Structure 1
């Protein structure tokens, strides 16, 4: 009898514990109204070699996030955030030549290893994309800083705003900040980098990630052989790489650099992009993918070049943070039983432009859940706060075209204000990015639009298929809904 009473007591204790666990799980909430900020500046911002904070003057959408017009940003909630800045760089009259540097400050101090460099040529303008995922506490304060370094006296470089005719404004800066999780270390995510220069790769080679800024529930393998990131948990992930490309120190090499990703030793389809380097120029190239991964999958960042003196470059500017050759951010989207709305889309078709805007065609559904794609018209089945990034491969027919490519977004047939960006094409090829964090209602439709302003030849979005590499789409688009579980 005493033994039966003891067993009954244990059973009751287990029942109470299980019941408490069920109550706790039942009190967990899925939060769709994540914190976010979408802002831009209609004013040009031009400076000298001393760092200056990038500011904004238009709040294009926000929730639970503090942003001051002086360029100071403060998180109101703790969690992991994604920051993407698109800076339209050039000279006020497009007469400058040199470079623009961009980095982060936290609480007034430069963040180590946060710098990037992009060149400006005479008559050109391009988008400098700065992106990183970071863990923030409530009241985490940061700024994004730039400096302009002109080759000639009496000229200045910076961030340039313009107003094309019958198109949305091209802001000098577009800020996109979106919350990905709540609390500390609640989702698998990692921020990795390479502190080494990678050159001389006519055949595909791995960019080895030898440093870790943050890692939670993602295994990082930093040996020289594999350079792989191992994902221990299955789910839908977003992968975003900023690669600093250029020529070896002391050289003024020219050619092309290709960048793409591999999964388990095989090229990820439609993930490749190309950047032309001229006379030692420098650029940030963005590579991004939203992808469904299985447990123990491995991801590698690949590159190849047409000149052995080109590659991913590390540098140390004076009085500024170091420039890493690559900064790689990755995180898992909400992992629950219901499907996660996301899309990875691309186009295998070259699309030539004209002064009259056209809708960008998307014929490849590389990954799709709860979003419909009607050859470039995306229809959302679920309401929420979404992040969307488009990366267009701009170039020309027979590589002899000269002109500008404009790229922006439309919501339900109407231009999204302050979403326009410009890339100059001068017988070369580069990646043009436009991104947004936006509140979407079920049934809403988004499309990408583009136009070209041509001086010579034919200019547009160019697809290609390099030998022994992933295809280079004319455009790559990544979309995901941001939600998180708030634990009681």
Structure 2
């Protein structure tokens, strides 16, 4: 088959949570594994201009969580938690265009600075991603809400489930919540935002972070002026940035936005991601990594654009939380006293897809411990509860193709149920995210799989 579609680059992060948490839980006289919550939905969920709670009808794995039929969920243990949702947005027959908004509620109240927006073009579908880290007691409930705004009144948008032939289900939404620390503020972590629009240009600009919802054992005194997050304690850290990219107010600009990370004023290898913006639409662009940091290390987020009217766009929809220009979450996974299994893998080579599923090759090992990588076949040397996230840079050869890229996970040669996601490519490029929280055993082997359908090109 002729080359049609490619993953221009893929970044994969994996880390175990239960080993470090077992020590914390023992100190608190608690037994059992890490608290986590992995849910999805096999049903379409159509939105309107008023916020609706996203619901889940599939339990893909959980421990120490209570899930309610109305879409809310509640952890049974206090601690620091990391949550990421991936909503498959579109229209039931791909005949509508407009915007989907999605945000978080805590105990029935909208969480400030938690909103994200992604445009749906006619005939397309994509994954809207939101990530957050937060401290919570045991008596808080959480939910994710969504709203939809269509260009044409007779059409509808929402969270759309799909069942491709011979592949796992593409759920309308996938949510992964994991406890990263027990107790209160026991690890360094932070959730930072930009409440202002920041436009870019062809030269790289540092992202300014002017507000926060949580900061513990990190120094952000220069984040508002210079975008610097200083890490006071050494360890292995997870970092994820979700940028709201688009065009300036009252413009319909087109071009690309690039987003990456910088460590001690040097660009971090293999951290760059790209999103095409067309005719003033908007989307969430994700860049994430697991990295070993030393005390006093400084991290910055950096972006550039191919059009000076493009950038990180903050907005305030009516009756909804603020949409920050960027949301940044970071937390420590381990230190010398409590090492854990983790891996940061990527591919520097384009990989072409076709209708027959292919294993994604991962030729770069950017950092790992107790996880073996044989060019995309990952073998786990320790049992535990793992968080896995793949972010694939999807596009077409010479930007002339139209079609869908699908990506899912395969465990021990079997496709993982409810792990599939889709990104429509329309002569552009975007990041496709696929994630899960899963209990793995020593010797298990995990792979990332892709397939494509071409309609033009």
TM-score (structure 2 length as normaliser): 0.93
- 1:431-464 residue CA offsets vs partner (Å, 9 max, x unmatched): 000000000101001000000000122xxxxxxx
Alpha-carbon distance change, 197 to 31 in structure 1, aligned in 2, over 3 angstroms = farther
- Measured in 2, the distance between the counterparts of 1:30 and 1:265 equals 42
- Measured in 2, the distance between the counterparts of 1:31 and 1:334 equals 20
For residue 181 of structure 2, give the secondary structure of its aligned residue in structure 1: coil
Report the CA distance between 1:68 and its aligned residue: 1.4
The ranges of structure 1 where at least 4 consecutive aligned residues each deviate by more than 6 angstroms after the TM superposition are 28-32
**Counterpart of 1:351?**
351
Report the CA distance between 1:327 and its aligned residue: 0.9
For residue 398 of structure 2, give the secondary structure of its aligned residue in structure 1: helix
Whether 1:143 aligns to 2:123 is no
For residue 333 of structure 1, give the secondary structure of its aligned residue in structure 2: strand
Answer whether contact 1:32 1:385 (CA < 8 A) is retained.
no
- Measured in 2, the distance between the counterparts of 1:39 and 1:456 equals 34
For residue 398 of structure 1, give the secondary structure of its aligned residue in structure 2: helix
Answer whether contact 1:210 1:222 (CA < 8 A) is retained.
no
Alpha-carbon distance change, 33 to 202 in structure 1, aligned in 2, over 3 angstroms = same
Whether 1:50 aligns to 2:70 is no
- Measured in 2, the distance between the counterparts of 1:367 and 1:32 equals 29
Alpha-carbon distance change, 248 to 32 in structure 1, aligned in 2, over 3 angstroms = farther
For residue 180 of structure 1, give the secondary structure of its aligned residue in structure 2: strand
Q: Which is further off, 191-200 or 440-449?
A: 191-200
After TM superposition, the structure 1 = structure 2 runs for residues 203-218 of structure 1, keeping only pairs within 5 Å, are 203-218=203-218
Answer whether contact 1:208 1:222 (CA < 8 A) is retained.
no
- 1:63-104 residue CA offsets vs partner (Å, 9 max, x unmatched): 011111321111110001111101000001000100000011
For residue 99 of structure 1, give the secondary structure of its aligned residue in structure 2: strand
Report the CA distance between 1:400 and its aligned residue: 0.1
- Measured in 1, the distance between the counterparts of 2:298 and 2:29 equals 31
For residue 334 of structure 2, give the secondary structure of its aligned residue in structure 1: coil
**Counterpart of 1:468?**
none
Unmatched segments (≥5 aa) in structure 1: 1-23, 458-488
- 1:30-71 residue CA offsets vs partner (Å, 9 max, x unmatched): 977100011100000002111000000000101011111321
- 1:323-378 residue CA offsets vs partner (Å, 9 max, x unmatched): 00011110001335353211000000100100000000000000111100000000
Whether 1:247 aligns to 2:208 is no
- 1:150-204 residue CA offsets vs partner (Å, 9 max, x unmatched): 0001101000001000000000000101001111111111111111111032101
After TM superposition, the structure 1 = structure 2 runs for residues 16-35 of structure 1, keeping only pairs within 5 Å, are 33-35=33-35
**Counterpart of 1:295?**
295
- Measured in 2, the distance between the counterparts of 1:305 and 1:261 equals 15
Answer whether contact 1:383 1:440 (CA < 8 A) is retained.
yes
- 1:98-129 residue CA offsets vs partner (Å, 9 max, x unmatched): 00000111222211221110000000000001
- Measured in 2, the distance between the counterparts of 1:241 and 1:170 equals 24
**Counterpart of 1:198?**
198
Answer whether contact 2:235 2:336 (CA < 8 A) is retained.
no
For residue 275 of structure 2, give the secondary structure of its aligned residue in structure 1: strand
**Counterpart of 1:69?**
69
Answer whether contact 2:113 2:193 (CA < 8 A) is retained.
no
- Measured in 1, the distance between the counterparts of 2:163 and 2:62 equals 24
Report the CA distance between 1:238 and its aligned residue: 0.2
- Measured in 2, the distance between the counterparts of 1:264 and 1:318 equals 39
- Measured in 2, the distance between the counterparts of 1:47 and 1:259 equals 30
- Measured in 1, the distance between the counterparts of 2:195 and 2:156 equals 30
**Counterpart of 1:361?**
361
**Counterpart of 2:235?**
235
Report the CA distance between 1:242 and its aligned residue: 1.1
For residue 85 of structure 1, give the secondary structure of its aligned residue in structure 2: strand
After TM superposition, the structure 1 = structure 2 runs for residues 460-479 of structure 1, keeping only pairs within 5 Å, are none
- Measured in 1, the distance between the counterparts of 2:132 and 2:201 equals 26
After TM superposition, the structure 1 = structure 2 runs for residues 271-282 of structure 1, keeping only pairs within 5 Å, are 271-282=271-282
**Counterpart of 2:107?**
107
After TM superposition, the structure 1 = structure 2 runs for residues 384-399 of structure 1, keeping only pairs within 5 Å, are 384-399=384-399
For residue 181 of structure 1, give the secondary structure of its aligned residue in structure 2: strand
**Larger RCO, structures 1/2 (Cα 8 Å, 6+ apart):** 2
Alpha-carbon distance change, 223 to 166 in structure 1, aligned in 2, over 3 angstroms = closer
- Measured in 2, the distance between the counterparts of 1:27 and 1:276 equals 48
Whether 1:131 aligns to 2:122 is no
**Counterpart of 1:13?**
none
For residue 328 of structure 1, give the secondary structure of its aligned residue in structure 2: strand
Max Rg structure? 1
**Counterpart of 2:176?**
176
**Counterpart of 2:452?**
452
- Measured in 2, the distance between the counterparts of 1:140 and 1:60 equals 22
Report the CA distance between 1:259 and its aligned residue: 0.1
**Counterpart of 2:425?**
425
